[in-house]
Amino acid sequence: MASGIILACCMAPSAWGAPVAHHAATGTGAHTATHAPTAREQRIRQQLEAARNARESLVARQQQQAHDLEERRKVELEAREQARQDAQKAASLSAATVDATARLQRTEQQAADLDSRITGLHTEQTALRQQLAREVARLSPLLPLAERLSLYPADTLLAVPLPADRAVTGLLVVHGMMGDIASQTRAIHDRRTQLARLDGELAQQQQQMRQVVSERESQRDTVNRAAHAALEAQQRSNAAAASATQAVEEAARRASSVQDAIARIEATEEQAEKNLEEAARAAERAHNMQAAAAARRQAHEMATGAGPGITPATSASAGAPVAGTVLTAWGHPTESGPATGITYAPPSRATVRAPCTGRIDFAGAFRTYGQMMIVDCGKHYRFVLAGLGEIAVAAGQQVSHGAAVGQMPQWNGGGSRPTLFVQLRHGGGTVNPAPYL
């Protein structure tokens, strides 16, 4: 409107009492002369031009901003779609490793049992050799006498002149001694036979162990490749689109204890769900129903998409999360009170499996627990696995019950043995995990 008023003023200069042009007579005739614009007119024209340029610049900037916004929305949608596809791929790859990982764990358990059997055979072999050495040492001083008696019985018995009664007594003693020598000789023979049998069994077990180890390494390589493929897909998903799981993981990192980590995770997820609900309502007020539906869908996935919860173990369940033996059972007395989880003593580099179907809330180093992960099983149940040597999953990744999620550290028998601590939490409290493994 202002520019229109200015333009009207320029078209009616007579209103100011100053003519725009005049006619002057000359001696030779009349001609028309146009006088130069005044300084005020020039300023008005410059202002008009500046206003026109500013308006055009503003319109162009608005158009560019609208174009940039549309491009950003397009890129964001593409990133979210890529993230969704990568997350689905990671979940599918995780599910595909379940059978292979189960076979690997059975092989690892077989190798651990064989190793224990071989160790027991070595111990038994050593004990037999020691017994054999002691019996040979006891028998050795009697062997020269036994040999002389066998070669020269009369001369040996009559070497010293004795009364008849003492000679008979000596003969009886020698007879008893020979029986003892014969008994010890049979025992030595039996132990040597047993030792030879142990040597044969040990050689057979070691041959079987070599075959099992070869099979184990082949299976382990297959499972590791599949697990790392799932991890790479999840990492691409995390890089393509930011998600609430990043805030969840960061909240866990700031925690001072496992209990604090679980509390922070649940608080962060609750806040994220509230934020998504507010975003959905705001989108509805702006009549952006697509954005509202997307926010509500994401909130629903956060609330229900982690996992189905946990159920008591059956014969078809995946079983313990790692091969080996139970070192400390739930509730077992410890220095800090009854054990709040189960501690396993696994073989070196044993594969660790997911104890439930769900989503990884946290994966990484944590305080004094070493490499640790928290698996959200759904319905406020979470498994904590601590003591791993290598983690093969990322925060936000969906995993299947029994899928490979990491490996135990290398251990050659020296120093303290690596252990896997498994804890099950429901809300803020701990639950005995044994019935669910």
pLDDT of 250-309, one tens digit each?
A: 888 889 899 999 999 888 888 888 887 888 888 888 888 877 887 787 777 766 667 788
Q: pTM for this one?
A: 0.67
Query: What confidence score (pLDDT) does residue 32 get?
Result: 46
Query: What confidence score (pLDDT) does residue 360 get?
Result: 92
Q: Find the range with the poorest average confidence among 136-140, 200-204, 291-295.
A: 136-140
How open is the CA angle 398-404-405, to the nearest 5 degrees?
Answer: 65
The most confident of the ranges 228-237, 283-292, 328-337 is 328-337
Question: Residue 358: is its pLDDT beyond 80?
Answer: yes
Selected residue with higher pLDDT from 77 and 135? 135
**CB 338 within 8 Å of CB 358:** no
Residue 401, CA atoms < 13 Å, CB-side half-sphere? 20
Domain ranges of the chain: 40-304, 325-436
Query: What confidence score (pLDDT) does residue 269 get?
Result: 83
Average of pLDDT values for 317-342?
91
How open is the CA angle 418-424-428, to the nearest 5 degrees?
Answer: 125
**Tokens read off for 61:** 């900037």
Given the DSSP bridges, would you call strands 420-426 and 381-388 parallel, antiparallel or unpaired? antiparallel
**CB 252 within 8 Å of CB 246:** no
Question: Residue 154: is its pLDDT beyond 60?
Answer: no
Largest Cα–Cα separation, the chain? 194
Residue 122, CA atoms < 13 Å, CB-side half-sphere? 8
How open is the CA angle 337-342-348, to the nearest 5 degrees?
Answer: 125
**CB 313 within 8 Å of CB 307:** no
Is residue 171 very low, low, confident or very high in pLDDT (cuts 50, 70, 90)? low
Selected residue with higher pLDDT from 297 and 149? 297
User: What percent of the chain has pLDDT above 90?
Assistant: 23
User: In whole angstroms, what is the distance from residue 48 CA to residue 52 CA?
Assistant: 6
Average of pLDDT values for 171-185?
63
Counted residue by residue, the chain has a size of 437
Average of pLDDT values for 59-81?
73
Classify residue 30 as exposed, middle or buried by CB count within 10 Å of its CB (0-12, 13-18, 19+). Answer: exposed
Question: Residue 384: is its pLDDT beyond 90?
Answer: yes
Residue 82 Ramachandran class (φ > 0 left, ψ -120 to 50 alpha, else beta): alpha
Query: What confidence score (pLDDT) does residue 321 get?
Result: 95
Question: Residue 111: is its pLDDT beyond 70?
Answer: yes
The most confident of the ranges 18-22, 296-300, 419-423 is 419-423
Selected residue with higher pLDDT from 15 and 162? 162
Question: Residue 3: is its pLDDT beyond 70?
Answer: no
Query: What confidence score (pLDDT) does residue 174 get?
Result: 60
User: In whole angstroms, what is the distance from residue 414 CA to residue 433 CA?
Assistant: 30
Is residue 249 very low, low, confident or very high in pLDDT (cuts 50, 70, 90)? confident
Q: CA Rg, the chain, in Å?
A: 45
Query: What confidence score (pLDDT) does residue 120 get?
Result: 85
- Structurally, at CATH architecture level, domain 325-436 sits in Distorted Sandwich (2.70)
Is residue 63 very low, low, confident or very high in pLDDT (cuts 50, 70, 90)? confident
Residue 101, CA atoms < 13 Å, CB-side half-sphere? 31
Determine the 3-state secondary structure of 363 from DSSP.
Answer: strand
Determine the 3-state secondary structure of 198 from DSSP.
Answer: helix
**CB 324 within 8 Å of CB 396:** no
Query: What confidence score (pLDDT) does residue 383 get?
Result: 96
- Residues in Cβ contact with 288 at an 8 Å cutoff, skipping those fewer than 6 apart: none
Query: What confidence score (pLDDT) does residue 243 get?
Result: 60
Query: What confidence score (pLDDT) does residue 248 get?
Result: 82
Question: Residue 356: is its pLDDT beyond 80?
Answer: yes
Question: Residue 5: is its pLDDT beyond 50?
Answer: no
User: In whole angstroms, what is the distance from residue 189 CA to residue 202 CA?
Assistant: 20
Is residue 209 very low, low, confident or very high in pLDDT (cuts 50, 70, 90)? confident
Question: Residue 113: is its pLDDT beyond 50?
Answer: yes
Question: Residue 337: is its pLDDT beyond 60?
Answer: yes
Average of pLDDT values for 151-173?
56
Average pLDDT over the chain, rounded to an integer: 78
Given the DSSP bridges, would you call strands 371-378 and 429-431 parallel, antiparallel or unpaired? unpaired
Question: Residue 29: is its pLDDT beyond 50?
Answer: no
Selected residue with higher pLDDT from 165 and 295? 295
